[in-house]
Structure 1
Amino acid sequence: MAAFIAKQMVGDQLKSVKAMGGDEGEKEGNENAEEEAAAIEEARREAEERRKEKHRKMEEEREEMRQTIRDKYGLKKKVKEEPEAEADLDEGRVGRKKKTKEELAAEANEEEDDDEFAKFPTDLSDLTTKVSELPQKMAASVGEVTEKCSLQ
């Protein structure tokens, strides 16, 4: 037990001495770590390139095999339909077409414009009558306020 305690006390002192001179080693360790990280990244990139090349070659071989089967049995290669053909399907659609963001924004702007103009009367005669009634309404509202309020 005494040996363990002695080792603990001396060991702590040795660690502090090593820490004083060990700063250079840590700097080298950081540089080595950066170099290792760069090397690992490069290795990953190369592995990814090899994998892509392998899959490309496999797909070419498969396509050659498919072509030999097509030639043997007289089959034609399927051609993918273009997006224009899909647009034709939308025309025969029973339901409504979804509106784009631009269409929705345009409709919202039109509604706002309609709301702004709805406040104004459409005829000039309506406008003149409302303007002529305005001073009378103001006087009536001021009269009501003065009746309710009393100065003390």
Structure 2
Amino acid sequence: MGSDGPDGHVLGMFLMRATKDMGKMLGGEEEKDPDAQKKEEERQEALRQQEEERKAKYARMEAERESIRQGIRDKYGIKKKEEREAEAQAAMEQASEGSLTRPKKAVPAGCGNDEEEEEGIMDTVMKYLPGPLQDMFNKK
């Protein structure tokens, strides 16, 4: 009985292995590979390197695409969205310069309510009237 027979040795090895595994499950010390930490660091470094290579590849691809886009913009006279927005913002700032409320609307010359302009218009009209008509308007 026991471990005297040929199967006894195998049974003893099995029990030792089982108790060792039970110890690990219960929170006991695990056998550690002395190179495990080194292998893990190498694996992490390889992952970082792969990620950097992937980012560099996509950066090169995006730079190539941007150069092609710029060529098309130059060919057809198209401006980048950022440039258009900057120009629109500058135009708004310039239009509202000096105003506290809102940008002033541009009023074409001769469309205002200034009396000086009306007198100027009357003078212009008077130049083209014949002399007797001019005298008639001036008498009033």
Q: Which has the larger radius of gyration?
A: 2
Structure with the larger RCO, 1 or 2 (CA within 8 Å, 6+ apart): 2
TM superposition score category, shorter chain reference: 0.3 to 0.5
Normalised by the length of structure 2, the TM-score is 0.42
Q: Which has the higher helix share?
A: 1
TM-score normalized by the length of structure 1: 0.39
